Chain A
Amino acid sequence: MIDITQPIYVLTIAAFVIGLIRMGNPATARSGILWAGIAMAFSIGATLFVPGLSNLVLIFTAILIGAVIGFIAARKVAIVDMPQMVAIYNGMGAGAASSIAAIELIRFGTSSFNLTIALVGAIIGNVSIAGSVIAFLKLQGWIRQKPIIFTLQQAANLIVVAVGVLFGILFLTHHSLLISYRSALIPFFILTIGYGFLMALPIGGADMPVLISLYNAMTGIAVGLEGFAISNYAMVVAGILVGAAGTILTLAMATAMNRSVVAILAGGFGKVQEESRTVSGNLKPISSEDVAVMLAYASTVAIVPGFGMASAQAQFKVRDLSDMLIAKGIKVFFAIHPVAGRMPGHMNVLLAEAGVPYDLLEDRDEANRAFQDVDVSLVIGANDVVNPAARIPGTALYGMPILDVDKSKNVVVLKRGAGKGFAGIENDLFYMDKTKMLYGDAQESISKVIQELKKL
């Protein structure tokens, strides 16, 4: 029987690259995933017919279970929760890579060189799966988003990973001084997975997009290494491709947030300086009626969405509001910070979902040129990305390019409560004289404003 997998793998890789290129352009993005999807289906199909495979019933059962759960979960999840779904599916891929590594290592069948590669891949995969799970739990709100910090954390993390790797080396060198070499694999896996958990804990919610992107790249590399260990070219090329693309993407995201990847991994979001600063002024609540009046008499309105709009699913109401204002002859634009929400482009996706016309969206630089002529800026659940504290040296946000909402004539902030942003620092903008606070769920608040506008 001829092995048909190789030619199909080659075509798959070509289709993956074409798919990625197409996904990089808004006009062709949707066909990009289709290219990749069809290629993937062929590769998997061909692999199932590899001669000499046993356990076919188990294989099909496992695929069925994974496909049903994966499909239902991905279909049912709200658009706003997409980031954590990416995180958890990424973790699953890393887990699969580690499973392949585990089997290769237990068998001890191939050369030591391949085993070393498999072991390195397992370390990367284990860190990625554990970190992805933490990212998922944090974004899902099942564990607290604030950095989790304890004393001697860095030292503890270092010891855990060092001992884990040591067990890996004991295994590779077939050392049975303490325990049999095969059982060294158990502490190796436990400790490297444990390190993945520990590493992600001190990283706050604001940095999660960068972290997920980093884990995505790591999973790619783990897949590539495991592909090397089992001599599967498709896995090597696709894995390294994702590893490289994911690394660039991680750096691009970090740059957009003015954060360095190293600083993010070091953990904590300016934990020392933040408490020392006090903000003068007070928070001034406003009624939805007054907001409606302000908007109705404005000539230019800027809408500044943030995670609050996403979590309240308010994008549809926001679109209604902007349509109403435009119908009244008011100039409306949306000021989009590249990292507003939980991922770069998060706001664009949500507003596109609600059908907001693309030409109403202004990026950070365009918006900042326009703010001085804006009568009312409506900040909908955005916080850190509009915090002028980013201009004050020494604050945790210092250096992050922000939207200059404070330059507009009036500011209305829609906010659930008086809490702080992801960065955990006070927002000077909220205390300014021209700023009024409209408390409550963003969707309800905007509905009320719309009702009041209708009465005018």
Chain B
Amino acid sequence: MEKTLPKIEIIEKYCKGCHICVEFCPKDVLEMKGFYASVKNLEACIKCMQCELRCPDFAIKVITE
């Protein structure tokens, strides 16, 4: 079965660049691009939702089917 990829939405207006999502992602999907978090490797995402759960700033949404 083909793997369905989620859509990771990062709201830059809310992101304060604290690195929490980047550090606690178990699959190294996110990276810091300048001040904000951004998606580096969406293919590796296992939809564990850790980034959405831990983001203190309501800045990440992992949209799955």
Asked if A pairs with B, the answer is no
